[in-house]
Every structure is written in C-alpha cells, then in structure tokens.
Amino acid sequence: MLLSALLTSVGINLGLCFLFFTLYSILRKQPGNIFVYAPRLIDKQKSEQQTDDLFNLERLLPSASWVRNAWQLTEEELLSISGLDALVFIRIFIFSLKVFAFGGIIGICVLLPVNYLGSQLSIDDFYDLPNKSLDSFSISNVNSGSKWLWIHFCAAYIFTGVVCYLLYSEYSYISSKRISCFYSSKPQPHQFTILVRGIPKLSGRSFSEVVETFFTENHPSTYLSNSVIHQTSKIQGLINDTEKLYRRLARIKSENRPQPKIRREGFLGLFGRKVNLFDHYEKKLEDLEDNVRMEQHSLSGEEVPAAFVSFKSRFGAAVALHIQQGVNPTEWVTERAPEPQDVHWPFFSASFIRRWIYMLVAIAAFIAVTIVFFIPVVIAQGLANLEQLETWFPFLKGILSLTVVSQLITGYLPSLILKLFLLLMPPVMILLSSMQGYISHSQIEKSACIKMLFFTIWNIFFATVLSGSALYQVNVFLEPKKIPSVLAEAVPSQASFFISYVVTSGWTSLSSELFRLIPLVCSYIRRLCCARRDDDEFEVPELQYYTEIPSILFFGLLGVTYFFLAPLILPFLLIYFCLGYIIFRNQLLNVYAPKYETSGKYWPIVHNSTIFSLILMHVIAIGLFGIKDLPLASSLTIPLPVLTLIFNEYCRKRFRPIFNGYPSECLVKRDKEDQNEPNMAEFYDKLVTAYRDPALAPVQLGRNVDSHSAPLLHEQV
Amino acid sequence: MLLSALLTSVGINLGLCFLFFTLYSILRKQPGNIFVYAPRLIDKQKSEQQTDDLFNLERLLPSASWVRNAWQLTEEELLSISGLDALVFIRIFIFSLKVFAFGGIIGICVLLPVNYLGSQLSIDDFYDLPNKSLDSFSISNVNSGSKWLWIHFCAAYIFTGVVCYLLYSEYSYISSKRISCFYSSKPQPHQFTILVRGIPKLSGRSFSEVVETFFTENHPSTYLSNSVIHQTSKIQGLINDTEKLYRRLARIKSENRPQPKIRREGFLGLFGRKVNLFDHYEKKLEDLEDNVRMEQHSLSGEEVPAAFVSFKSRFGAAVALHIQQGVNPTEWVTERAPEPQDVHWPFFSASFIRRWIYMLVAIAAFIAVTIVFFIPVVIAQGLANLEQLETWFPFLKGILSLTVVSQLITGYLPSLILKLFLLLMPPVMILLSSMQGYISHSQIEKSACIKMLFFTIWNIFFATVLSGSALYQVNVFLEPKKIPSVLAEAVPSQASFFISYVVTSGWTSLSSELFRLIPLVCSYIRRLCCARRDDDEFEVPELQYYTEIPSILFFGLLGVTYFFLAPLILPFLLIYFCLGYIIFRNQLLNVYAPKYETSGKYWPIVHNSTIFSLILMHVIAIGLFGIKDLPLASSLTIPLPVLTLIFNEYCRKRFRPIFNGYPSECLVKRDKEDQNEPNMAEFYDKLVTAYRDPALAPVQLGRNVDSHSAPLLHEQV
C-alpha cells in the first residue's frame, strides 16, 4: 500500500465521520428521535417534549454542543448515572490514550525516522513521499544486522515498562474505586444473599426445610431466610402470554372507540360466531390468569435443589460463601448471589455434574467455532459469486452485466458476508456462555466478552497474519519453537492492512455507534406503521460490553504489537481512542442505562488482554531480531516476557482478590453502620422476598402491567 | 538381556533379601540393637531391657514373628500409633497391589502370550526359552499392522478404567478417614489458630497492638489472643549453647567421681590456672543463662510483621482464614497455623514480595538442578576413572593393576558416584523447599516430596529412555507433536533395563530399609567409643515421606507405563509392593514415630502421580500404534487421555477441597461438642501460650532439659 492511498482512505473516512457527526447533531435535536438518541433522558423530558414539537431553525443547524456536554461529564457524575462498569469502560479509553500517547511520541519521533532511513526495501527516490510504500516506514526497511535495531530493542523495554506502570496504577485506581463504591452503596439484597446449589435430598423433607435446618444449625446467629428455586419455565410462558394479552386489551381500551370492535370466534377470526372483541379478550385473559394461579399453586412442590439463602449481615453471607459447607464438596456449593434483576432463572435445574459437563461442552464448542469459523464464511463467499447469482436469479442477469454492479458485488459481497457472520458471533457467544450454567446475565456477558476477545484475536489477527487454513494456524502453535520466527515473518508484512483496518473499521464503527443507524431506521419504520406504540414497549437499551470491549481491546492489541514494527499505526489509533472517548461518554450520558452491575469486574479482562499483547509483541521481537541477524538482541529480549509475566502474577496477587469479593474489614464496617440505620427492619422484610422467582409472584396485571415485582426492590430500598 | 540373565539376577537378589531378613530377625532380638530396630518401643521396654540382657539360644535363631506382627496390625491400630499420614503411606502399597494384581492377571495371561506369539524380532527357536531375549515378551515382538494389537488397545482402555475406579474409591476412602480423624481428635492448638502475615506498620504502635485492634474490631465474638513473632535466631543460638553445656554438666554430675575433674582455664585446657571443671562449667552456664535472659528481654521489641492469632472456636479461625481480611490483599495474609511443634521458625521475617521472589528463585533453582543434574555426575565419573586415580594417588598403582580391583572400580565406581549424587538430592530438595518460605516442617517436606517425584521421573525415567544430553531431552518437549513417536520408539527398548531396575534397586532398597544398615553401624561405633551416650541424645526417628513416597510412586509409574509394553515387569513389581507393605508396617510399628501430622495431605500427590503415569502410558500408546501401522487404533486412543483428564478434574472438584480444610458442618459440630467439655477453659489458657517461640520461653534448664515447652502442650491437652 502506498502512502498516498492511505491518505486518500484517511480522507474519505474522516469525511464520512464528519458527515455522520453533522447528521447526528441535527437529528438528535428532532423530538421524534428522542427514543433513539436520548432514551435514558425520556422520563425527565417527557413533559418538555410537547412544547419542543414546535419548529425552529436552530433544530436544523449542526452544532457541537453534545461534544461539550460529553467532555464536561465528571467521573463522579458518570459513576452516579451509569455505575462502576461504565466508569471502567471509559477508563479503558483513558488508559489506551495514555499508553499510545507515550508510544506515539517514541514511535513517531524516534522509530519512524530510523525505519525510514533504512534501505532494506527501497532504493528509489528518498524524497518521493506520496509514492512510498507504507513498508518504508516499518521495521522491515531497517537493514539486517544494523546497529539501529538496538533502538527498537530499547524502545521495546521502555514501552513495556511504561505500559506495566500504567497498568499497575490503573488497576490500583479501579480497585480503590470498587471499594469506595461498596462503602457508599445502600444495603442491597445481593450483598446479604448467597446462592446454594446441590442441596442434598433427604427423604420426606422439602428442600426448604433441609436448607432451614442446615443453616440454622451451622450459622445460627446470622441466618435469615431462604427461597428455594422452582422449575418455572412453563409458568413463565403462560405469564408472558397473559402479559401480551393484557397489553393488547389495554391498547383497545385506550383507543376508546365508540362502537366496540367485533370479530369472529373461529380460525384467524374469519369463521364462527361474531363476538365483541373486548369481551372476548377479557374472558381469555381471566382464563389465562386462572391458569397461571393454578399452575403456581400446583408447582410449588417441584423444587430444584438450589436456593437463595439470605443472612442478617454482609459478613454472615461472606462467611457462608467462602467456607466449604458440606463434607461432600459437590453438595452445598455456595456462590455469590447476583442482583435480583440480574438472575438468569432458566438454568437452575442442572446438577453439579451436569453443569460441569455443559461447561466442558460449551468450551469445546467455543474452540470449534473459533477454529472453523472461516469454513462457512468461505463457503458462503464462494456461493455468492457472480456466476452463482446469475444461475439462481436469472432475472438479475441484465443488472449484473453492468460493470458498476458487478464490481460492487465482487468487491463488497465477500466482505459483507464476513461482516454478517461476524455480527452473528456475539449472540452465539452469549448462547455458549449461557449454556455454561452461569446464574446471572452479567456473568454470562462477562464470559461472552472473554470469548469474543479470544475469537477476535484469533480470527482477525492470527487469521490475517498467518493467512493459511485453520489447520495450518493450529499447526503453528503445536511447534512452539517456531512461533517467534513465523510471527516475525508474517506480522510486519500485514502492517498496512491493519493501518487501514483501524481507519476504516475502527473509525466507522465509532461513528455508526454515535449515529445508531439501525435503531434510527427501526424507529422510523415503527412510527410509519403503528404510531403510538413506542411508549408501551419502550425500554432503555444497555451498553453491550461484550461486543464493545473486545473490539476496543483488539485495537489496543494492534497498537501494542505494531508499536515498534510500524509506528505509523499509532496516530490513527490515537484518533480512534479520542473519538471513542467522546462518543461513548455521550452515549452513556444520553442513550444507555445499566440494568445490573458487575462492580468493575471487566477490568481484569482489560489487564490480561494488555499483558497478552505485550507478550505477543515480545515474542515477535525475539523472532524479528533473530531474522534481522541480531541474535544478541534476540536473546536479551527473552527476559522481557518473563519479567512481564512476573509483573502480571504480582498484580494478580495484589489486586485480583479485591475483584472476587470484599474483605472482612469492609464488610464488618458496613454491617456496623447498618446497625444504626433506622429502616433495616424494613429492608430485612424486603430481603426475604427479594429472590422470589418472578413467575411465582401473584398475578396482578390489573394494577401493575409489569408483574416483575422483585426487580423493583432495588430502587425502592 | 536374556531371560536366563534376568532369572540369575532375580535369584541373586532374592537370596540377598532373604539373607537380610534372616540377619534382621536375629539382630532385632539382641538387646543392644533396640535403639536401631525398635526405638519407638523404648519407653515401654526400658524396664524389661535389663532382664532381657541374659543370653539365651532363641536370640540366635531366625524367626518370622515380626512378619506376623506386621501383618496382624489393623488399620485402627496403625492410625492410633502413627497417625493418618502413616495410614496414607500404607494405602499407597494397598492401592498399588490392587492395581498391579489386576494388571498382572491381564498382562501375564493375555498380553504376554500375544507378545510371545509375534515374530517381529525373533525368528529363532520357539521353545529355547532361556536364551530368549526379554524383548520377545514385549510389544516390540508383535508384528506391525497385526490385528493382535487391538488386544493391547482394549487392555489399555480396560486398565485405565480399573485404575480410575480404584483411584476414585481410594480418594473417597481417605477423605472419609480424614473427616473421621478430625471428628475424633481432641482440641488442638492449630485447629484454633491462624498465622497472619503482612501486618501493616502503624507508627507508634507495636504489631501486637495492631493485631489486637484489628481482630477485636472485625472478629469481636471469636478472637482470643495473638502472639507476635520475633526475630530470635541469635537467642536460639545462645540457647543451643546453653543446652549443650547443661548436658555436659549433667553427665559430669551423673558420673559421680569422688575427686573433682580439674583442667586448666586457657586455650584448649592446656594452659592457665587450674580450675575445678564442675565449678567452671557451672559458672559458664550461669553466664550464658543470664545472657539469654538479657537477650530475650531486649529483643521483645524486634517484632516481625507476623503473628499467630488464636480464636475461641475452630469455626472462628476458619472464618478469619478463608475471608480476605484487609483491603490490600498483600496485607493481613492469613494462613493455616501448623501444629506448634511443626513450626519452622527461621523464615518469618521475609515480607510478602520477598517471599514470593524467594519462591520463584527456588522453583528456578529446582528446574536448573533437575535439568543439569547429570552434568556434575558425568564430570565426577570422568574424573574417577582408573588413569586419573593412578595420577592422583601414585601409591595405589600396585593395587590398581590387579584385574579384580580394576574391574570393580570401572564397574562400580560410576554407579556409586551416581548413587551418592542421588542421595544428596533429598536434602537439596528440602533446602530448596525451605527457601520457598513455608512456615512448617511438614509443608517443606510435602513440597520436597513433589520436587523429588519430578526429579526422579525426569532423571531416572526420561534420562534413561531418551538417553541423550539434557538439552536434547528438553528439546523433545519443545516439539509436542513428536513426543508420542519419540517415546514410543524409546520406551519399549528400555524394558529390560527397568525390569532389572525393579529387581535390583527396588528390592534391595526395601531390605536395606528393614535392616537399617547405617543406623546399625552408627550405633555400634557409638557404643564402642562412648558408652552410655545413647540415652541422652536419643530421638525416635520419623519416616521421611519425602524420600520414600517418590521412589514408591516411581515404581508405580514404571508399572503403569510398561503394563502393556512389557507385562513381564508386573510380577516383580507385585513382589516389590508385597515386601514394601510388610516391611513398612513393621517399621511403622517398631521404628518410626510421627512428629507432626499433615492429616493425609500426601494422598493428592499419589493421585496426581498416578494420573500422570496413565497419561504417559496413553501418549506412548498413541505413538506406538502409529509406529506399528495401526493409525485407527492410534486415533481411537486419543479420547483416553482426554477422558482421564476429565476424570482427574472431577476428582479434584469432588475431593480436593476436603484436603484443603474442614467444612463448616464439621467445624460447627466439633465446636458444639467442645461447649460441653469441662476443661476447655484450661485449654484456652494453654492456647494463649502455645505458639510462643521456644527461644523466648523462660530458661529453666534446672528442671527441664528440653526448654521447648510449647511442643509438649500437644500431648498434655
């Protein structure tokens, strides 16, 4: 790739970004788009909305006020509106900006000139910049055995040191935030509760009795209550039907027609006796509600050997959580309880061994999906070529013979298919993770995030770099001795691809995140088809960390590995992270609202991913110095990954436990503060019912459309 | 090796064994050898000893009564006299006997005939058994591509299944024993105590106060007391001197000479003023005691940031142990307290990070020692050849020129040097393990046991099998794809070496264990030189699990890997395990007494080692079927190691937690039982001082020679 081509691409993409930004700054001011661009502010603004409907000129002028708003948001505000997870998410950008600002200075001021002064590749005109290949700016251009390579060697050491220092201070900062958030939090049900699985079956006694006996025996001073989990997927289905029907009824009611709607009783409402639609639905609803009540009553016997056990203090819950309870470690397995609204109810029935097998199967499936991902993609791309399309859809022949169309198809169809398959992946990962038997949505998403990260690194980085069949890639990793030299050959040669990947894929994904094209289109279609439905089914979206974090970390990986290979990538990455910082702050302020909280548990993933990137860079450096006839530098680089791993191990010891639970010092302190709290008795009352399965709550559609009463507790307390 | 040669070797070694046994059965009856052969019965027999001194003929007749005694020992008796560790040790033999009895039946009745009927190696006379090579009985003799190999394939599957079943039932048996031992144990200080390290330094307050405040704050209902650890290596040295002097004084006193011993004051007692020796020592002793008291007083300020913290209940101690205490995980690090007599005092001063670095260094040193072990051995062997000896010791020239002597030297010197280097290893491993910062002797020994096991497997199995330089061996493991075929080539060809290794090294080590040659010789020398010293310095030896267990497990590994390669090894292994079973039961009954207890924590090592042996066998099988042109069998063997690893993982989940701690169910039950115990108040009083450093105990040599008052507590309670 030539420098001029890169600059053209940069220009086009910058233009596109500005176009998106302008459009956004106009569209967000249109009151109709408030559901798309500011759903989390809806409650606040509902009153103003009506007055805003008036047309004024300012609404059509682009403005940068959103940038100012996003910039001015302080960390405390962010923490209060979106929780610690959002803060951690923004800290990823801040951390990356620090890393690549430092890396960029060294890379552009020191490494780039050194690379450019080499003569391994180019013997053509030194000053003919536009026609220079991008490779002239990469380490490939430095002559073999050149003493200049020691500069790269030093840069690798210094960069690693700085990144490790930043990693340490960031980990330390986020752990202190986590503790201070805990101190400032109100009493919440999940702090007082654990989940117990593998309750042993005693003949003639219900699980609830067994749990009661066991915990009053072993934790007499702290045990409060338990709620055994029931198999409720059938009831849940019935309740969903009921709710749907109720909503339809409510809509009919709200339409307030003078003459009642009438339809026939039979198939599809076409045959049979004519009935009043309202009466018909009301009767059906009553039937369904009766059904639900009957099922709820009869099902209370079908208990699952798992229960949420609540304690009178946080410390009591932690004690029961951390100490093995039963003699058999596969019974009385304790686990931290998620927030009530975070519970993933369907998976409680599986036994210890079954869950474990599910987990193994899920991991095996994940590995299989990751390794053979390219096979269906290649097949689909093969099927979607020009001739095939002409055979399948002969009527398209005329259009396909146009040069523009055929170029578009051959040029964009394969990458479109790849994009579509890639878009399929996050849901697939969520599916695999939920098979693993996690009990909360947040755990599932965290696990999916790790899976997506592996998947991205494997299928975008290694697949591009090694550019062979899946089996060839696997083979490389079965011969560990060859890895450095293979990578050192392959990685630098893909530098220009990844630079343009940052510019095209990175920048575009950010501006489309801001513009929210798909929700925008959906919202227009909905408004065209069925006006006024928005209010009913409207839900504030949540930021999908498991799709965003892996892609951001992947750009970080590119930056770290290419830092000394092709420093030209760094300015583009810096722009990416700056844009991301502003855009995501804006989105967190206006669009997304958190449903549940992991309290910063995503940070260890970021830390580990960065360590992996560093090690990958070191391995490439070892191979590269070997290839460039500098065996001494190659050997002297070996301590670098070892030191990095030791640093990582130290961080794991120093910070990781803070992310797994809270220390007794904090727990006891909070418990003591609670003793002076006047409304703790009320809180305990609510705690007893906090973890009731929503499917077993009494049906009260008449008063409250949403029968999930448990999730509301969180805000009430 | 020919069959006849093997039989000769077996005959010689059997003869040697019987000779040792006969000698043992006679020597053990001699009253003078009671310190060698029955030290643990000494207290009991001291009264009888005098009458026994009379000569009678029976004392000179060999008898097998010891075998009967050892055989009749029940498990309960063993448990009561030697604790759970001894029981686990004996269970290794029982487990191995079960495994190899089953393996032996299949191997000898099925595999051996199949191997012998093959014709890959031997085309000579079928019936000329004595001159058959041992390889005719191994899998090497089966023709390539032969259908008979499927029998080996089935045998591998069946054998793995049976071993896994036995592993499971044994793990389950030992965990239940561990729990029942806990239930039946008296209250012991280490059950109520934890060790806390990394106590933060607060200005103006001693560590003891900091600990006191922290635990009364966070564990108000269960905290009992703390004893901060001091740096006492200097005092310990002084005390040792004092003790030595006291003993000498006591001996002089007991000699009761009419005229007092007199010697000069000066250098070596040769010059200076004549003094009464008794008075001289007494004065010196008083000085030393004053010195110790002064040091003890002045040192109480030099605290180390570590303390033993005792609680009022076992559950309270477990709570503090399992929950992270401080916000910073590197402070307030808790650890299970060892038994008071098990504490390894010297290593408490090291900080968190320093201990961690020590550990890394120790592991690196261990790997280095293991890999380069053969280099000094080979050098020493090279130096100790005939010419070298002649150059160094010219006066030996005459003797060395004799054929017998030169043959002896060239034949035995190299293997003697190897043996000596191998004997050096257990102390080296103990040294490395104690560098790792363990706080108890038992932990150090357990860690040394694991190290010795690795060392043995690497330096005896892999070094013999791969028989190349150390670097070549390491190289093989850097190319994982080649491992199966390399091993499959190399392992079967060493079958005859390992068969004779079992017969010579295995059987001999057992009979020398029984005969206790070195202690016997030492005891004779001591009796010749200085009569009556035995009683003073006599200590009952303890069984050194860290040298015995690795060698037994190594024979197990040989059995498992050679089970289907060369089943001829199995009968000899069976004899080894039978002998070991009887001999070690006898030794545990008469010779060894446990000083401290790990409560069965050696079993997981046995389990893991067996799993490793199985996997090694599977890897060899995969390679072998490949070499023997049976690729289908080779591929079908791949699930076997995977299934074995899954089984191992299941066992780890099912049993491992039981060996790490006791569940709250047991703890609470025992605590409740204690509440009815009348003398708990007394126990608590003793608990407060149980973990006082022996060096800081008041010097009371006048009344009690051994100033280690803490260790006595265990028996007193």
A520: nearest Cα among A182, A16, A33:
A33
Cα separation, B129 vs B499, in Å, equals 17
The answer to whether B665 touches A218, Cβ cutoff 8 Å, is: yes
Intervals of chain A under pLDDT 50: 47, 49-52, 533-534, 702-717
Nearest CA distance, B208 vs chain A (angstrom)? 18
- For B107-136, the pLDDT digits (tens) are 999 998 888 888 776 555 566 666 777 788
pTM: 0.85
Residue tagged 């103990």 (tokens): B430
C-alpha Rg value of chain B to the nearest Å: 30
Looking at residue B280, its pLDDT comes to 75
Question: For the residues of A486-512, what is the DSSP string, one character each?
Answer: HHHHHHHHTHHHHHHHIIIIIHHHHHH
The answer to whether B307 touches B229, Cβ cutoff 8 Å, is: yes
The count of CB pairs under 8 A between chains A and B is: 107
Query: What residues of A are in contact with residue B171 (Cβ under 8 Å)?
Result: none
Q: Where are the domains of chain A?
A: 3-46+84-187+354-662, 190-353+689-696
Degrees to nearest 5, angle at CA B348 with B343 and B351:
145
H helices of A277-385, in order, are: 277-299, 314-322, 352-372, 374-383
Looking at residue A622, its pLDDT comes to 93
Does A322 contact B323 at a Cβ distance shorter than 8 Å? yes
Q: Which residues does residue B334 pair with via DSSP β-bridges, in sequence order?
A: B196
Mutate to test the interface with A, among B665, B668, B675 (most CBs of A within 10 A): B665
Residue tagged 């010195």 (tokens): B291
H helices of A628-679, in order, are: 631-637, 639-660, 664-675
Cα separation, A117 vs A126, in Å, equals 9
What residue in A sits closest to B178 (Cα-Cα)?
A327
The distance between the two most distant Cα atoms of chain A, rounded to a whole number of Å, is: 94
Nearest CA distance, A215 vs chain B (angstrom)? 9
Cα separation, B138 vs A579, in Å, equals 70
Looking at residue A492, its pLDDT comes to 87
Nearest CA distance, B340 vs chain A (angstrom)? 24
Q: Which residues does residue B196 pair with via DSSP β-bridges, in sequence order?
A: B307, B334
* Mean pLDDT, chain B, whole residue set: 83
Neighbours of A598 (CB within 10 A): 22
Looking at residue A263, its pLDDT comes to 59
Neighbours of B87 (CB within 10 A): 21
Cα separation, A431 vs A158, in Å, equals 42
Looking at residue A464, its pLDDT comes to 80
Neighbours of B609 (CB within 10 A): 23
DSSP 8-state symbol, B663? -
The pairing of strands B193-197 and B333-336 is: antiparallel
Does A656 contact B329 at a Cβ distance shorter than 8 Å? yes
Degrees to nearest 5, angle at CA B359 with B229 and A171:
90
Cα separation, A245 vs A238, in Å, equals 11
Neighbours of B187 (CB within 10 A): 19
User: What is the 3-class SS of A546-558, one letter each residue?
Assistant: HHHHHHHHHHHHH
Nearest CA distance, B435 vs chain A (angstrom)? 18
- For A390-407, the pLDDT digits (tens) are 777 777 777 777 777 777
Cα separation, A450 vs A605, in Å, equals 7
Mutate to test the interface with B, among A177, A217, A218 (most CBs of B within 10 A): A218
Cα separation, B597 vs B443, in Å, equals 10
Query: What residues of B are in contact with residue A319 (Cβ under 8 Å)?
Result: 319, 322-323
Degrees to nearest 5, angle at CA B582 with B578 and B585:
135
Mutate to test the interface with B, among A168, A312, A319, A355 (most CBs of B within 10 A): A319
What residue in B sits closest to A669 (Cα-Cα)?
B218
Mutate to test the interface with B, among A323, A356, A649, A672 (most CBs of B within 10 A): A323
| DSSP H/E element including B335 | strand B333-336
The answer to whether A305 touches A198, Cβ cutoff 8 Å, is: yes
Cα separation, A710 vs A696, in Å, equals 11
Does A668 contact B479 at a Cβ distance shorter than 8 Å? no
Cα separation, A17 vs A506, in Å, equals 11
The pairing of strands B193-197 and A303-311 is: unpaired
DSSP 8-state symbol, B137? G
Looking at residue B300, its pLDDT comes to 58
Conformational region of residue A157, where left means phi above 0, alpha means psi within -120 to 50, and beta covers everything else? alpha
Q: Which two tokens stand for residue A234?
A: 């059938």
By CB atoms closer than 10 A (0-12, 13-18, 19+), residue B288 is buried
Cα separation, A497 vs A569, in Å, equals 10
By CB atoms closer than 10 A (0-12, 13-18, 19+), residue A485 is middle
User: What is the 3-class SS of B268-287, one letter each residue?
Assistant: HHCCCCEEEHHHHHHHHHHH
Q: Go through chain B and tell me how many residues it has.
A: 717
Q: Go through chain A and tell me how many residues it has.
A: 717
Looking at residue A316, its pLDDT comes to 92
Looking at residue A364, its pLDDT comes to 92
Intervals of chain B under pLDDT 70: 1, 43-56, 121-130, 254-275, 299-301, 347-350, 384-385, 408, 411-412, 468-473, 530-538, 698-717
Distant-in-sequence, close-in-space partners of B297: CB < 8 Å, separation ≥ 6: none
Neighbours of B5 (CB within 10 A): 15
Which residues of B have a CB under 8 Å from any CB of A? 179, 214, 217-219, 318-320, 322-330, 332, 353, 356, 360, 478-481, 646, 650, 653-658, 661-668
The answer to whether B524 touches B594, Cβ cutoff 8 Å, is: no
B108: nearest Cα among B522, B572, B663:
B572
Looking at residue B716, its pLDDT comes to 36
Does A663 contact B326 at a Cβ distance shorter than 8 Å? yes
